[in-house]
Each structure stands twice: as structure tokens, then as C-alpha cells.
Amino acid sequence: MRPLDRRIAVAPMLDWTDRHCRYFLRLLSRHTLLYTEMATTGAVLRGNPERLLAYDPAEHPLALQLGGSDPAELARSARVAAEFGYDEVNLNVGCPSDRVRSGRFGACLMAEPGVVADGVAAMRAAVNLPITVKTRIGIDDRDSYEALADFVGQVASGGCEVFIVHARKAWLRGLSPRENREIPPLRHEVVYQLKRDFPNLTIILNGGLVTLEQIADSSQGVDGVMIGRAAYEKPYLLAEVDRRFFGSHAPPPSRHQVIEAFLPYVEAQLRQGTPLQAMTRHVLGLFQGIPGARAWRRYLSEHAHQRGAGAEVLRAALRQVPEVA
């Protein structure tokens, strides 16, 4: 099994990083590791796995994020992930929403490191894939460095070698998921300390990285970084990633070239019955910060949702933006 290059990744983001988003992002960066939205073990095992887990082969390298806590269900879900050809299975121990908490998965599991370790061990026994954990630096009043180090140590004993750490604590009561992404202060230094104390583990830093300069600076002292909302809201950020971090000599594609490359995928999905808006909603930020961006967003917002809208809407929207972009 070839090791995954974890220097740069795009975070799993609910309602955002679906298969259409990931295909689009792959056109910007060939090497960035992509993650699915979180899929619960219940949905994987008792839902429609083809609808939930299908993806285009171009999306590789690609990781499936799971939500769950029952070792047997996690193991069975990991087997499904392996059958679908995913490159990694990631366990969500970071989401603070009420729905996640009531299902006994997400950030609330930071209080149960033994449960997480058992889940990791079960998945490792079931599949020959990397099993990773995405977590916070703490929850509620359980936010000391000692508690975090104890959590990481116990989960590592279950066989987890890769921890993706969102450098904010989570308040499980009193803050919404959105507020939990913004209000608790970022503490990157905690993640760097983890790497110093666990040098044999792979530690990935997540949280608050919005420019290439920040990404480059923040990657010093850890094994990689994960970009969240910035990769979605300003996706062209990824166009320079391959040259800057992976040694690619190919020039980055222009924004127009990205959309031209996206069109065959869009047309194929339209033939399968996918609504145009399901795809165009992910490209609204492509021209962010340059002339024509507002016209691009407006045209897509006004036309992509209309009944029967096809790829010509995307082509017409592209004509709203100067070619030099």
C-alpha cells in the first residue's frame, strides 16, 4: 500500500465536499488529499451505499470520513469503503452538532478515548487501509493539554498513526456548529506541542488557514495541513498548491481552463439526471477577488436552478468574466 502524501488536504465539510465539489477541486490540484462529507455508519450499512459513496476515479487520492462509535459497525463500514476503493478511512471525533452528539459520535467521543481506540482497532483489523482520526484539541471543560495528550496516547494504542487536529476546542452545549468554527480561539501551538511529544505519529494541523503563506508557515513543525472553508470559498487557492508544495513544474490552470475542463463532467452528470445547480453551487467562488466575480456568481445564481438548465448556463456565465482571469 503506497503511503498517502498528507502535506496538503481539504477538510471534510458537511453539505460542501460532495462528489461534484471534489471533482471540481481535483481540477485545481492533482496532489491535494480530498475528504468526503461525513457519512454515518448507519447510512453506509443501512442506506444506499452506491448513492452515498460513489465517486469519480479522478478524485483520488480520496478519504472517506465516517461517523460512528460501535466497533463492529465501524469495521463493516470500513470494509465497504475498501470495496469502493477509498484510500483512507477517517473517524470523525470533531463535529460538535447536537445530532452528532445524540448519536454518540463526533466531538463527544473525546471524552471516551477507549471507545475511539476500540473503533480504530476494529477498522484496522478489518481493512488494509490507513485509519485516521480527526479531532479537536478539547471539549467543554475537558480542554487541558494533559487531557488531549491522554486521548491521543490511548487512541494511538488502538493503532491510529495519523491525527488531524482542528486547533480549537468545541463547546458541546451553548454554541452552534458554525459558532464552534469561529468563537473558540485557535491554538496552533497545542498541535505543535503534540507533534513534539508524539514524534512517531503523523500530526496534521487544521484550522484558520486561508492563504498560501499561512499554509507554508503553519506546516513547519507538523506533518501536513488541512484547509477548510478557504478551499471552498476561494478554491483557486489550490491552483498553486501543486507547484508550491508538491514540486510540480506544470503551470497552474487558469480559471477559464478549469471550467472548460469541468464541462464534460457536468454534461455527463446532467445526462444522469443531476441538476445543474448541484454542481454549479461549488464553483461560485472560483473568480473571487477578480473583475467579473460578481457577474459570474449572479448569472449562475439566477439561471442554474431553472428547470432544464444545462451546461450552456455555465458557458454563458464564463462569458461574464474576462479571459485574462
211 and 110, same structural domain?
A: yes
- Amino acid at site 167: A
292 and 167, same structural domain?
A: no
| Structural domain count of the chain | 2
> Is the four-CA dihedral 32, 37, 41, 43 of positive or negative sign?
negative
Range of the domain at 178: 8-246
In a domain, 324, yes or no: no
Q: Note if 95 is an active site residue.
A: yes
- Reported pTM: 0.95
| Longest CA pairwise span in the chain (Å) | 57
259 and 241, same structural domain?
A: no
pLDDT in tens, the chain (325 residues): 668 999 999 999 999 999 999 999 999 999 999 999 999 999 999 999 999 999 999 999 999 999 999 999 999 999 999 999 999 999 999 988 766 656 678 999 999 999 999 999 999 999 999 999 999 999 998 999 999 999 999 999 999 999 999 999 988 877 777 787 777 889 999 999 999 999 999 999 999 999 999 999 999 999 999 999 999 999 999 999 999 999 999 999 999 999 999 999 999 999 999 999 999 999 999 999 999 999 999 999 999 999 999 999 999 999 999 886 4
- Report the C-alpha gap between 67 and 74 in whole angstroms: 8
Residues 6+ apart with CB under 8 A from 184: 168, 169, 170, 171, 175
Query: What are the pLDDT digits (tens) for 192-247?
Result: 999 999 999 999 999 999 999 999 999 999 999 999 999 999 999 999 999 999 99
296 and 224, same structural domain?
A: no
Catalytic residue (choose from 21, 95, 108, 160): 95
Domain with 67 in it: what CATH number? 3.20.20.70
213 and 167, same structural domain?
A: yes
